Amino acid sequence: MFIDELAGKGLDIVIIAKFLFYYMPNLIPIILPLTVVLSSIMTFGTFAENYEFAAMKASGISLKRAMRVLIIFMGFLSIATFFIANNVIPAAEQKSYSLRRNIAKVKPALAITEGVFNNVGAINIKVEDKYGENDRFLKDVIIHKNTPDRANRTVIKAANGELFSSEDSNILQLILTDGHYYEDVKTNKIKDQEKYPHAKAAFETYTMNIDLSNMNDVDFNEVSSLNTFKMMNVNELVVAIDSIDSDTKANVTAFGENMYRRSGILSLAVPLTKAGKPIVKDSTKVLNYETDLLDFLDNYYKRQIIDIALNNNNGNIYSIEGKMADIQRRKKLLNHHIITLNDKFSLAVACIVLFFVGAPLGAIIRKGGMGLPLVIAMVLFLSYHFLGMFAKNFAEDGSIHPIIGSWLSTLVMLPLGIFLTRRATADKGLFEFGNTLESIFGFFKSKRGLFSKR
């Protein structure tokens, strides 16, 4: 959450309250499972502690019948949860993102996130750390100047930086210290470009004035058109998943065909010539796949071909490594979309599953209030939450399938809910320690003769 970046930055309390209001729906996937587990354990634990279930059974009302109304209620709650996850949370995510970006336009220090590049005016800036009053001091600064043709020709690196701005000025002053200035010099002639390709300078202090006149006229109610996977509903996610998957496959196919053409395999059956003259020892021979190609060539051309082949292979290796990184990025984005899509359904199902875990468990332990039920509810919730978190982390990079990553925690809780429901409806305890101990003693008693024989 970004409350630490908003507090103490001179923002209106209404803006901060609006941001917190937009962020609240994002807490529902965390709060709702805990609420279901805790409330069901406390409610049924209180019933059992006060012998309400004993009175119900004496009146001929079974536990299943007593849970019927709550099961119907949980069904409606699951439907409402899906509606919130599918409609409310994406809309709130888009609103909060747009509001934060608009706030960053008014307060440039907020636009600078540590560890990533951020657009501020006419520059693209990255810092490793922000500190001091209003985060005005910067550490390890890297700046790329934006140009109309979007060419990255100027790079500035500095050990430290400091921001100066005032409310009545449209100029943001950035003072850099202990750094270097790099620039690719653009000339009108190619020959001049070859003579002066690069300029470099070191500085102790360098001052940049950034014009923010186009940024300060901000409408805080403006909604961004950006639509990330967190801002999509089910229908949009299905379309996006299909689009990303098709685009990735087409991209990989095009790259493979390009690498195949660059390999030169298509021209292996063509005689090698130079300026219309044969360069092979015997011009009547034609290269084919079953012959050593170098046997046709003189030593000079052999060395040339080997050097060219090595350079081509190195270039192909670099291309493949770069493409692998791009494919991995695309797959990770696809996994994010699949996880988000399945989370909308798994959260709704988890509400019902966790109810069937908490309600029978409360009837079994026969303890209400905020003591033992709270402890048990926290243990169950943390198990559910951390299992889901670890599974999603593995699913993001493709270690496990993203569908499994979204449903694993719910599927683990499902057998536990079935087991506890069966024990509670049969009026049995959580574990039958007497039968278990009797079985253990019976086992050792039957094996006693084996140890007594010599």
The residue with greater pLDDT, 214 or 47, is 47
Q: State residue 368's pLDDT score.
A: 67
The residue with greater pLDDT, 91 or 272, is 91
* Nearest of 96, 149, 142 to residue 123 by alpha carbon: 142
Q: Is the pLDDT of residue 227 over 60?
A: yes
- Report the share of the chain in percent with pLDDT over 70: 71
Residues 199-225 have a mean pLDDT of: 66
The answer to whether the CB of 273 falls within 8 A of the CB of 279 is yes
d(CA 258, CA 252): 10
The residue with greater pLDDT, 357 or 320, is 357
Half-sphere exposure in the Cβ direction for 348 (13 Å, CA): 16
Q: State residue 163's pLDDT score.
A: 81
What are all long-range contacts of 130-135, with beta carbons under 8 Å and residues at least 24 apart?
134/8, 134/9, 134/109, 135/5, 135/109
Q: Is the pLDDT of residue 179 over 70?
A: yes
Q: Is the pLDDT of residue 185 over 80?
A: no
Residues 273-298 have a mean pLDDT of: 52
The residue with greater pLDDT, 48 or 265, is 48
Q: State residue 365's pLDDT score.
A: 80
Joined together, the tokens standing for residue 105 give: 């336009």
Q: Is the pLDDT of residue 76 over 90?
A: yes
Most confident region among 44-48, 299-303, 434-438 by mean pLDDT: 44-48
Most confident region among 135-139, 291-295, 385-389 by mean pLDDT: 385-389
* pLDDT tens-digit map of 391-431: 988 988 888 899 998 999 999 999 988 888 888 877 776 65
Lowest mean pLDDT among 52-56, 159-163, 254-258, 292-296: 292-296
Joined together, the tokens standing for residue 140 give: 């390890």
Helix axis angle, 299-365 to 372-396, nearest 10°: 160
Chain mean pLDDT for the chain: 76
* pTM value surpassing 0.95: no
Q: Is the pLDDT of residue 277 over 50?
A: no
Exposed, middle or buried: residue 278 (CB in 10 Å: 0-12, 13-18, 19+)?
middle
d(CA 90, CA 37): 25
Q: Is the pLDDT of residue 18 over 70?
A: yes
Q: Is the pLDDT of residue 273 over 70?
A: no
Q: State residue 299's pLDDT score.
A: 74
